[in-house]
Structure 1
Amino acid sequence: MKKFLTILALITTLLADNPNDLDEIKEEDIPKILSIIKDGTKEYLPMMLDDYTTLVDIVCVQNAIEYRNRINSENEHVKIILKADKGTLIKTTFENNKSYLCSDPETKMLLSKGAIFVYVFYDLHDAELFKFSVQHKDCP
């Protein structure tokens, strides 16, 4: 995640005349910025995010960047959560990602310009478990 922030900081510096004035970035710049983030992050994949989750791929489509994650669905703890309390897992994961994206000035700026951050979670057999997106309207 630290590399993501470094890449994002470099992009905003390159695209804005004054790095403190992020309003210089326009909506039409978003696909290019997201593509640069994707390319800069992809070289570090797969990336362990926690004990159960690995970021395995990133794709961009227009103003959306999609993070594809694989959950260790064979882990007994994960199996129990997915079976008994999947709704809470989805809500907690959404809230954690939303909180991070909405509190970081650079990602909040990208969201305000129309960027969409999509998170997809797969099991070890590549079956989709759940998916959600964070958009500007999700930020307070």
Structure 2
Amino acid sequence: MIIETLSWGTLEVNDEQIYYFSKGIPGFDDETDFALISMEDTSFWYLQSVKERELSFLLGDPFLFYPSYEFELPDIEAEELRIQSNVLIRCIITLKDQIEQSTINLLAPIVLNPDAKTGKQIVLHSAPYHTKHYLLQEKLIVDGKDGG
């Protein structure tokens, strides 16, 4: 499939990269089909709408930035996504001009089923997370710096 993107122009993506979000992503309810695009040699991905070239999200693996990150996926969400065993968790990253100010949204992870090619952004109502955790927070703490 050929898709148009704002960042890379025309891209060819295969069916294995397309995920269906039955309810869209909050704020973009009408956008249901997204391509998961790996950024080679990095720990980042783009979730690109297949219809709207201007709509994409930078994603990161939250466990790389916050190794202690954990949550319990509600059964109803697992059933909706038809998750049997395989699951990918990614979180939306907001880049800032100063990289140390960049944030990751740990409160609302993107949950992907790579087998059924379904996805959903899930808000963790009872979790101790926020929408803006510093991307480099744990590294800064390890280095003995404040990070805040």
Instruction: Compute the TM-score of the two structures, normalised by the length of structure 1.
Output: 0.25
Higher relative contact order (CA 8 A, sep 6+): 1
Greater percentage in helix:
1
Greater percentage in strand:
2
